[in-house]
């Protein structure tokens, strides 16, 4: 079974879909996605200011950046959630709540990545994950991270190697997590490099 990937219109007001291809390719893309081939971690776009070029650049970083030289990046591990145009204008916790309601069987323990208004300015992204609080109830927490760190944070959350609180505690003073001391991202390359 396939589904059509529905993403928000681009900032220019057209109805083009965000491409899922290499940043150097044209904006034409096949949006039929087999549900069995969905990523482990879903990406949502909550700002209409996320342009197709910015989206492609971020997806390229998600697919190719290697935090640890000896570990290959997992291409396709982080990709757009299908039918997610509803996320425009919602806050990260609202997106996560709806994501959990609609995708429990597919993404049971997985965090979500959100491209929001601040992403459009500095390329940092939000990661939201469920955590167990002191009352042993699940609650959602979020953290802004450098895009190069998305795979390492998401995979550590997914396998419960670390909790989001572990990353929150070591975020920089501006609230953005850029990595551990020995594997730290000071800035990103590209036209939006402002981290």
Residue 191 pLDDT > 50: no
The CB density around residue 37, as the number of other CB atoms within 10 Å, is: 9
Q: Count H helices, E strands: the chain?
A: 5, 10
The domain 2-184 is placed in CATH, from the list 3.40.50.1970, 3.40.50.800, 3.30.70.1060, 3.40.50.720, at: 3.40.50.800
Distance CA 115, CA 50 (A): 7
The closest of 163, 116, 108 to 144, measured between CA atoms, is: 116
pLDDT digits (tens, 9 = 90+) for 66-121: 877 777 778 878 888 888 899 999 999 999 989 888 875 555 557 999 999 999 99
pLDDT digits (tens, 9 = 90+) for 38-66: 457 889 999 999 999 999 999 999 988 88
Which range among 1-5, 43-47, 133-137 shows the weakest confidence by mean pLDDT?
A: 1-5
Give the position of tokens 């150097």. 24
């Amino acid at each position: 079974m396939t589904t059509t990937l529905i993403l928000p219109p681009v900032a220019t007001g057209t109805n083009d879909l965000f491409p899922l291809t290499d940043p150097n390719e044209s904006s034409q893309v096949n949006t039929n996605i087999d549900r069995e081939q969905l990523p482990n971690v879903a990406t949502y776009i909550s700002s209409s200011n996320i342009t197709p070029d910015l989206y492609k650049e971020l997806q390229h970083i998600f697919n190719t950046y290697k935090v640890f030289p000896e570990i290959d990046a997992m291409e396709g591990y982080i990709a757009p959630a299908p039918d997610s145009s509803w996320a425009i204008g919602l806050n990260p916790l609202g997106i996560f709540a709806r994501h959990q309601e609609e995708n429990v069987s597919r993404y049971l323990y997985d965090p979500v990545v959100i491209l929001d208004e601040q992403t459009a300015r500095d390329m940092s992204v939000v990661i939201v994950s469920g955590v167990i609080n002191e009352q042993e109830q699940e609650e959602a927490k979020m953290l802004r991270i450098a895009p190069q760190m998305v795979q390492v944070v998401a995979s550590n959350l997914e396998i419960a190697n670390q909790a989001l609180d572990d990353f929150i505690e070591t975020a920089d003073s501006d609230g953005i997590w850029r990595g551990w001391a020995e594997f730290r991202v000071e800035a990103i390359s590209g036209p939006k490099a402002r981290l």
